[in-house]
Structure 1
Amino acid sequence: MQQFEKPNFKIIFFLIVCITFSNGYSQIDSLRNILEDEKKSDSIRFKAINTYYLTNTYAQPDSVLVLINYHYDLAKEKKFIKEMAKALNEKSYAYYIKGDTKKSMEFLMQSIKLYEQLDEPLTLATLYSNIGNIYGEEKKYQEAVRYFNSSLEIFRKQGQKTGEARMLHNLGVIYNALDIYDVALTYLNKSLELNQKLNKEKETGGTFLEIGKVYYNKAEYYLAIELSKKALELLISKNNKFSTADCYFLISKSYHKLNQPEKAYDYIEKSLVIDYEIKNTSRIIQRLTLKANLIYESNLVDEAIKQAEEILKLVQSETINQLKADIYNLLYKCYKAKRNYSLSLSMNEQYIVYSDSVQIEKNKIVVIREAIQNEYDSKLYKNNLKSEKEKAALKVLQLKKTYTITIAAALIIFSVVFYFRSKIKKNQAKRELLLNEIEKLKNNANKGLIVDSNKFELNREKIERAINRKLNETDWTVLNVLLEDPVITNIEIAEKVFMSVDGIGSSLRRMYEYFNIKESKYKKISLLLEAIKISNNSNKIA
């Protein structure tokens, strides 16, 4: 086994100071004093390291990475499995902040492997939710929702309200990414209310930011700005530079939409200052592209070209297609404005390539959104059903109590009535007996008696057989246009097939009836899904 070598503290802290620049050295000096003091216990040293993470991982991931290596080696030398796992988890956080999801997942799985040796279900639930965060960043939304729901269930069973609030927040983020805004707001507001009840106001900064993003997506830009500024105060107090930069970017985008370029430019610059510190390349490309667009819209085309060409140098193979499409579109507009048509055409071709890829991704997300929405609706229905059953059971219990009291009271009354009636009847019987006896004596005296609940193609033949009718050419054409773009508008379909919008509406209404489409929110998608099911599986509508 390799012998543990005592680290050179001077080198460690020199690297940390170099990376943190002018952020103040009081916390670093305090940490150094603790780690260099050999009289301090191991528990005090590890506590000092973990305290440093709380205020620096989201602000200075590079400086934290330097300390993490020391933390892990020290824990390994002392054979403290829990501290080794903490160090690996913190390393996963740091790479997540830097935008490297592959490394983040790698170290997270190593941390989970160590934690599985310990009996800490709540910690494991947190780590599993971190897997969900990574999947969310990679747009693997179904997997993310699955992990968040699993962790949420564990936190609720354990009565861990802080973890519950965090999972509600995470679920809200995913539903916002899927454009299911009402559900996103439901989760985010529940998270907000729960943290406020727990008196954890400082933990609500990220939630206010995410609610602001929902309202930005709903084109309510003033509200998005208001919520972002509210989030800023809380995030800055926590030294969460990662989310602070996100706040500045959201405010900048909102001012851009409101046609206030000077304010938009000011806030994008604030975001970039932090983004360069964190060194998250994707975020830097995203922010710089907005900045270059602002310059272009100010008629400074040469400067915009210069900026855009520099951004293009940052683009890598793993850069997401949306960012590539945005920068090529900007260059296309810039070169076109300068009448450099050959370069403009070249940029437009690149834009089309990546734009098409983005559209394919969106089409896939449409299906994922539908599945997740259905899953949510099903879960909501079950929860409502459970709630109704619980209410019914409570009502039955209350009715039983009422019935018991009523029956007891009735029995008492009945007993009293029965007693008195019996007594009366006895008296009456006795009276009748006497009367009869008198009558009998009279009769005797007179001597008498008295008696009294990869490119898919639709199969027209199967479809027509399933719906038991022939599709006309217009309907068939519209159906194939939907296959290309399930979220296309009626106006866009009309332009593609050279028909009126009314004609397209009429065609779609016919097919809704043919395919028995009842769902009202996503009728066109439901229509297409039915057509695909028929083409793939059988001659009947599923």
Structure 2
Amino acid sequence: MNIGNRLNYLQQTKNCIAPDFQHGPILEKEWEAILQGQLPLSGEQAAYLAEQWNLPVDYLVDYDATDIAIHRELQRIQHELLTNDDKAKQRLVQLGGTYAIPSIMQETIFKLLQAVNYYKINQPKDAEEIEEGYLSFMLPGFNVLKEIGVFQKALFYYYGFKYYYEGEKEESFSYFERILEKTQDTEEVISLMQNLSLIAKDSKEYDCAINYMNRLETFSSEHGSNRGLAIAWNYLGVLYLLKKNYPTAIQYFEKMKTLELNPLMQSRMYHNLGVLYGEKQYYHEAIKMFSKSKKVKESNQMTEDLFLSYHALARNYFLTGQPAEAKHYLTFAQQTAANEDERSLAKMAEAEMIKASYPKAAIDLYVQAVNYYEKVQFIGELDDLYPTLIRLFEQVGDPAMALEFRQRYQSLHVDKDESKHA
């Protein structure tokens, strides 16, 4: 590994000043060569810099070594991130001490996994700090094809989430595919197929998403994975719901009842049945299902998923002409929205409720949601939002803005067609 990358990183981000060329053990020309990766640091030079910069000496000596204990811990973190295990967050904290990982390779893997975690929990600014403050110095020095498998998987996983967050769904898809090719772990395969199906679903490529879930169903049956079957049947139910094939969707949700579901999957089954009933305009039945889902979440302290229940109940109470209950749950949804995606959903729900009486206020809320969905390129949401805004701008007598959103809508469909034929 190139110690020059680490020294450049330390100088530019940690305010480590250049060595004293006249009185120290490093000559100026040597220093230039070291920074360019053309010379290694000697033990004496490393000890000198460690003292000058107040660093552990092994951080400058053991930069090319592999610590087996750290290697295994990184493998555990990577696996837990891939399989949505909360232990990953604890391990990241425990391993994340300042200068705690001497190996450049292992430290870079750690930073990649740290960035993945931030993207997963919707904290992109923290991920960007890692990218700008560390990865920008380290990644250019790596030839990914020559690096070890754990590094390749970490890098592909990082790019998969980074591109997904940035709305580059095709790029994201390709990186998750590459990880899938590299793993034999049953739980990782399940999670990766789930991610690939989700990306396809977000792009409204429902048949592609169904293909992955059919593969997951077969894989899970062959490997005896209850979790995999629950995920596959849940996703297949959702995907057929989106295709408005309601009988098939119900079949998959009913199949889920034959499994021993954990509280998370049980709550999702009820929630998705609520969505299905809502699509069929059986709003009272939908409310019953959403209420069951909420009860499962509350009784199991699943606070992270409660937003979706509150949001769904708010919308369905509104659609049944119960404004007090709708406002009650909308307030809960607004209070529990934990990220920009959830806040945008809450804004759209509020806009839906007020657009008949206050169309201009509704427009403002819808535009805020559009700004977010355009940033992350959530095609499905934009496909619904643009026509809504066109109608509202026409209603309030603003043909110029109606035209602008009509052009955006047309451009969206041109881009989708070009993407399909690329």
Contact 2:101 2:107 survives alignment (8 Å) = yes
RMSD across aligned positions (CA) = 5.0
Tell me if 1:137 matches 2:137: no
Q: Secondary structure at the match of 2:168?
A: helix
Alignment check: 8 A CA contact 1:35 1:45 kept: no
Q: 1:312 to 1:91 in 2, by over 3 A?
A: closer
Partner of 2:326: 264
* Secondary structure, counterpart of 1:36 in structure 2: coil
- Using the TM superposition, give the Cα deviation of residue 290 of structure 1 relative to its aligned residue in structure 2, in angstroms: 3.3
Alignment match, 1:178: 243
Structure 1: distance between partners of 2:330 and 2:201: 24
Tell me the residue number matched to 1:295: 354
Q: Please report how far the alpha carbon of residue 321 of structure 1 lies from its aligned counterpart in structure 2 after TM superposition.
A: 2.6
Paired residue secondary structure (1:170): helix
Quote the residue 2:388 is aligned against: 326
Deviation at 1:136, TM superposition (A): 1.2
Report the secondary structure of 1:116's partner residue.
Answer: helix
1:85 matches 2:144: no
8 Å contact kept, 1:55–1:238: no
The answer to whether the 8 Å contact 1:34/1:45 transfers is no
- Structure 2 counterparts to residues 286-435 of structure 1, below 5 A: 287-297=346-356, 299-300=357-358, 303-304=361-362, 307=365, 316=374, 320-333=382-395, 335=396, 341=397, 343=398, 345=399
Contact kept in structure 2, 1:212 and 1:225, CA below 8 Å: yes
The count of residues paired between Structure 1 and Structure 2 equals 324
Identity level (%): 16
Residue 201 of structure 1: how far off its partner (Å): 2.6
Instruction: Name the CA shift for 1:35/1:323 in 2 (closer, same or farther; >3 Å).
Output: same
Alignment CA distance shift 1:55-1:101 (3 Å): closer
Native 8 Å contact 2:190 2:216 kept in 1: yes
Separation in 2, partners of 1:113, 1:315:
27
CA distance in 1: counterparts of 2:168 and 2:126, whole angstroms: 18
Q: Does the CA-based 8 Å contact 2:112-2:158 persist in structure 1?
A: no
- 2:168 counterpart letter in structure 1: K
* 5+ residue gaps, structure 2: 15-87, 418-422
> In the superposition, relative to structure 1, how do residues 231 and 119 fare at CA in structure 2: closer, same or farther (>3 Å)?
same
- Per the alignment, residue 279 of structure 1 pairs with 340
Which gives a bigger RCO, structure 1 or 2 (Cα 8 Å, sep 6+)?
2
Task: Give 1:94 deviation, angstroms.
Answer: 7.0
2:229 maps to 1:164: yes
Other-structure match for 1:62: 124
Determine which of 181, 193, 199 is the counterpart of 2:258.
Answer: 193
Distance in 2, Cα, partners of 1:347 & 1:129? 39
Between the aligned partners of 1:290 and 1:232, the Cα distance in structure 2 is 18
Find the aligned partners of 2:119 and 2:259 in 1 and give their Cα distance: 25
TM-score (norm 1): 0.47
C-alpha distance in structure 1 between counterparts of 2:101 and 2:373, whole Å: 48
Give the CA deviation at 1:257.
Answer: 0.5
1:250 Cα deviation from its structure 2 partner: 1.6
1:5 partner amino acid: R
* Preserved CA contact (<8 Å) 2:176 2:195: no
Matching residue within 274, 278, 294 for 1:232: 294
CA distance change for structure 1 residues 303 and 113 in 2, over 3 Å: closer, same or farther? closer
TM-score (normalizing by structure 2): 0.59
SS at match of 2:232: helix
Separation in 2, partners of 1:5, 1:359:
46
Contact 1:126 1:151 in 2 (8 A): no
1:192–1:54 distance in 2 versus 1, CA, 3 Å:
farther
Contact 2:113 2:154 in 1 (8 A): no
- Assess, with a 3 A threshold, how the Cα gap between structure 1 residues 249 and 124 changes in structure 2: closer, same or farther: same
Amino acid at match of 1:206: R
